[in-house]
């Protein structure tokens, strides 16, 4: 499929946004669980992919909302959910990254 056709299809963009938003949360939860149980991997190993996936989900959701112009409420709602899921995963990852850094600083002071 041509990239130009894909970027002008609000249906595909809204679905992609929603799927990427969900995928960001799945990778975040699985990454935290793997980081807890496998010490060699660590919790922070999955933070960068989660941030990138969440950012892409929000980007595609914004693109879909710009193309929709209130064309379909279901597609608009799905794009909005993708934006919220992507930004939520991104912000949760940033907060966890700061918390890990603060706990590391406190651990160094001991």
Residues of the chain with pLDDT below 70 are 1-7, 70-71
pLDDT tens column, 38-70: 888 888 889 999 999 999 999 999 999 888 876
What integer pLDDT is reported at residue 9 of this predicted model? 82
State whether the Cα torsion 32-33-39-41 is positive or negative. Answer: negative
What integer pLDDT is reported at residue 66 of this predicted model? 87
What does pLDDT average to over the chain? 89
pTM metric for this prediction = 0.85
Query: What is the residue extent of each domain of the chain?
Result: 8-109
């Amino acid at each position: 499929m041509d990239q130009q056709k894909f970027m002008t299809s609000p249906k595909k963009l809204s679905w992609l946004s929603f799927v990427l938003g969900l995928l960001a949360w799945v990778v975040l939860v699985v990454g935290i669980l793997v980081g807890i149980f496998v010490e060699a991997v660590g919790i922070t190993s999955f933070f960068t992919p989660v941030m990138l996936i969440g950012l892409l989900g929000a980007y595609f959701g914004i693109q879909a909302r710009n193309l929709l112009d209130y064309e379909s409420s279901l597609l608009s709602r799905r794009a909005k959910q993708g934006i919220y899921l992507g930004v939520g995963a991104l912000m949760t990852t940033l907060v966890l990254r700061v918390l890990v850094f603060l706990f590391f600083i406190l651990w160094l002071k001991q």
